[in-house]
Amino acid sequence: MENTIHQILEDLVAKMGCSLNKIRIEKQADQNNSYRVNIETSHPNLMIGYRGENINALQHLTKLLLWNKLDQTESPDRPEITLDIDNYRRRQEQHVIDLAERKVEMVRKLSSPQSLPAMAPYFRRVVHLHLAQEKFNDISTESQGEGEYRYIVIKPELVI
């Protein structure tokens, strides 16, 4: 699987006219058939694009090409891929986690709900999963809003 992902990305990056220094592929231990891929390149701005548009498109294309190749080999499971460029996405994830933890402290201090800014579904999921840990059992999270304006509200957990 890793070799197939590597070859697909090498071809896509070459067609973009970019060079890559290294592709690191990690199978996610906590998720079934899921891979995290980080590309080190001398063209990170081009590959990431404005507000991550290019990285999202590249991730989508990689998944489609991989799934198409696997369908030809009769593979029943479609792997999930999270693509990162020079750890851009990992830094973003850490930023939203840090922001959510600051809001948790405000919820605990004020005993009132706190809202995070609107964010993409991927980052809302990161926050929900992070705040589902045992150390946050005194709070709950809920997504509100519509479309691209969807955001998370962090609330004190009601104790009965």
Fold of the domain built from segment(s) 91-156: Ribosomal Protein S8; Chain: A, domain 1 (3.30.1370)
Q: In which order are the strands placed within the sheet that holds 151-156?
A: 114-115, 151-156, 139-144
- pLDDT at site 135: 94
In which element (H, E) is residue 122 found? helix 121-130
Q: Does the domain at residues 2-86 carry the CATH identifier 3.30.300.20? A: yes
| Helix H or strand E segment including 38 | strand 34-41
Q: Within a 13 Å sphere around the CA of 106, how many CA atoms are in the beta-carbon half?
A: 14
Q: Model confidence over 41-89: pLDDT tens digits?
A: 988 999 999 988 999 999 999 999 998 888 766 556 788 899 999 999 9
Could you tell me how many residues make up the chain?
160
Tell me the backbone φ, ψ of residue 131, rounded to 5 degrees. -80, 0
pLDDT at 142: 95
For 97-128, the pLDDT digits (tens) are 999 999 999 999 999 999 999 998 989 999 99
Give the pLDDT of residue 75. Answer: 57
Residue 155 dihedral angles phi and psi, to the nearest 5°:
-130, 155
**Domain map (residue ranges) of the chain:** 2-86, 91-156
